[in-house]
Structure 1
Amino acid sequence: MARTIEDISQGIKKSFVENATLAEAYNLQAGLTFDEQFSALSIEAALVFIVSSAIWTLESLWDIFRSDTEKHIEESYTTSIPWYYQKALEFQLGDDLIFDAAKYAYAYKDIDTDKRIVKYVAIREVKTENGVMFLKFYYSGENKAAIPTEHRSAFEQYIKLIGAAGMHYEFVTQDPDPIRIKLRIYYNPLLLDDTGVRLSGGGMPVKEAIESYLNTIAYGGVFYASKLVDRIQQAEGVKDVELISETWNGSTSLQRKIEAISGAFILDFHSEDITYNVELDELE
């Protein structure tokens, strides 16, 4: 990791005052630091800063190069999670795989991005109680919709062919999990009406905030109640938020976090799930 310019400068300054030749040339006093003997506006101080900045730039470039190299190695490493992720997105519906004897790997003869129907992928390493390790693939198409039934076996066979021999897989492709959110909103009546509609321009800021949060959850990610509340707090006209419950997977409760069965969520909106209240003494 690149050192700071200040750290580099201090190292140069220390070496400067400890150098016998420079000490004699500048008539430096032993025991005093560089900053105690040179003005911050001196040519020597300016040169130290310039050299330190150049060294910092070089070290920063090394960091970037190292990071890019490590990322490339990780993504290129056959059967690593990043490798599987990239290969899943490269699946081409209707095309056969050709075995490359030189590389001991399967590949498509021609690349056709129009045939790539898998748009979202998440992969998890899972271990059973018996100690058997397998990879769980969540995958879906446009708008995170489930891949049609007639196309699933082709994708699953593709993964098994290109993947590691002996590896076990589980595949999940479903439409996003519906989730109902019940809220009590305290709002500014200068900006919203009592149904949550924006007085200027229309639209429902709270509903929009919920949908925005659900859409920004990474595919295969986790719903966090606290992050939802934070997003709603930022919505236009909202003074305060009380999260009452979530209805998901057939049950209603107040959960801190939820992991989607399908890998994604979609709002199951019912207007009666959100009540709007005004507290006049809190108006700004």
Structure 2
Amino acid sequence: MARTITEIKQSMTSAFMDDATIQNLYGLDPAYSFEDQFSIVSFESVFFGILALIAWTIESIFDTHKSEVQTLINEQKVPNLNWYRNLALSFQLGFNYDAVTRAFINGTATEDQIQNSKVIKYCSVTRNLVQNKVLISMKIATEQNGEIAPVEDSTGLAFAEFMEQAQAAGDNIGIVNYLPDILGLNFKVAYNPLILNSDGMSILNANYPVQETIKKFLKNLPFNGELIVQDLREAIVKTEGVLRIQELSVQSKWIEPGLGYGLFQPITISKIPRSGHYKIEDWTGIQYIIYEATE
């Protein structure tokens, strides 16, 4: 928004009054303002008024040009998958959305209020062909207690309404907001008894290094990223106190819409989670054994 003529003139006269050379030349008292020491009809006042009018005209022209360019950009922008991802992450819960300007109406909201309203922390967008129709699949999630989690139902409804208003005409978007895929692990850990107890607990720190390694591995996977079994194996083997692992078996189950979780299915090489993220609920599939070398 362009400054007013008065604001522009004020900035000029303030700089004029602060200049030490000008103060000496005119014999000005810096304790008084420009208006206190120059008449409104003085040459200096009229001169700064003309300059302010010229500057205001130029700023107004540039503001108008900027607005016109932004309108053209908004109207001609071609949505792609990354555009949709950024759009989802820009969602503000509790704020109204203006479909014309393609922006949320923040009013007098503080920066903290705006940031706290952006509850979609994770999003992945893919394009799929379903029954000869292009479907844009948008997986979303938030974060609770440091873990990835689905958004609440009321938030999901608000987000769906936002996408209905913001999406490109004709696009078919399916929003995926599911509980995490459940990961099942079964394997044996040959452990170093100098470092770990028989239940996998660190003798020194009283934590469970293998579990922490796996949690960190899952946390570092990109949202909707591919879990590669070989990479998981290598991460576990590098854990302090682990000598070898044997018989690694990985499986997962996921939400089927309207049915709930299905049965565990094996992951032989890799798999992308249906929900976008994994979670482990049961650690009893990990056994700790003493390694014995064979001749």
**The two structures share one fold, judged by TM-score above 0.5:** yes
**Structure 2: how far apart are the matches of 1:123 and 1:238?**
38
The answer for unaligned runs of 5 or more in structure 1 is 1-72
| 1:104-123 superposed matches below 5 A | 105-110=101-106, 112-123=114-125
2:280 is matched with which residue: 267, 274, 277? 267
Which amino acid is 1:277 matched to? I
1:1-35 deviations in whole A, cap 9, x for unaligned?
Answer: xxxxxxxxxxxxxxxxxxxxxxxxxxxxxxxxxxx
CA contact (8 A) 1:229 1:243 kept: no
TM-score by length of 2: 0.64
Change over 3 Å in CA distance of 1:182–1:94 after alignment to 2: same
Matched, 1:158 2:156: no
Q: Does 1:186 align with 2:190?
A: yes
- The equivalent residue for 2:41 is none
Alpha-carbon distance change, 223 to 233 in structure 1, aligned in 2, over 3 angstroms: same
Residue 157 of structure 1, CA deviation = 2.0
* Structure 1 residue identity aligned to 2:286: I
Give the SS at the match of 2:102.
strand
User: Is the Cα contact below 8 Å between 1:89 and 1:116 reproduced in 2?
Assistant: yes
Contact 1:245 1:252 in 2 (8 A): no
Q: Is the 8 A contact 2:221 2:227 kept in 1?
A: yes
Residue 271 of structure 2 is aligned to residue 258 of structure 1: yes
Q: Does 1:226 align with 2:239?
A: no
- Code of the residue aligned with 1:137 in structure 2: it is M
Aligned to 2:43: none
CA distance in 2, matches of 1:92, 1:149: 15
Whether the 8 Å contact between 1:210 and 1:267 is mirrored in structure 2 is: no
Aligned to 1:277: 289
User: Could you tell me the percent identity over the aligned residues?
Assistant: 22
**What is the alpha-carbon distance in structure 1 between the residues aligned to residue 288 and residue 240 of structure 2?**
14
Q: Is the 8 A contact 2:123 2:140 kept in 1?
A: yes
- Rounded Cα–Cα distance in structure 1 between residues aligned with 2:250 and 2:141: 24
**Inter-partner Cα distance in structure 1 for 2:173 and 2:280:** 30
* C-alpha deviation, 1:144, in angstroms: 1.9
Aligned residue for 1:141, secondary structure, equals strand
1:91 is aligned to 91
1:244, 1:254 within 8 Å by CA — same for their partners in 2? no
What is the letter of the counterpart of residue 87 of structure 2? K
Runs of 4+ in structure 1 displaced over 6 angstroms? none
Aligned residue pairs total: 202
Match of residue 29 from structure 2: none
In the alignment, is residue 138 of structure 1 matched against residue 134 of structure 2? no
Change (3 A) 1:106 1:265: same
TM-superposed CA distance for 1:243, in Å, is 4.1
The structure with the larger Rg is 2
Deviations 1:48-81 (Å, cap 9, x if unpaired)? xxxxxxxxxxxxxxxxxxxxxxxxx9xx954122
Q: Which residue of 2 aligns with 1:69?
A: none
Check whether the contact 2:252–2:267 (CA below 8 A) recurs between aligned residues: no
Partners in 2 of 1:277 and 1:121 — Cα distance?
40
CA distance in 2, matches of 1:99, 1:177: 34
8 A Cα contact 2:191 2:241, kept in partner: yes
Shift of 1:251: 1.9
Task: Show structure 2 runs of 5+ residues with no match.
Answer: 1-72, 254-262
2:238 & 2:206 partners in 1: Cα distance? 17
1:280 CA drift (Å): 4.5
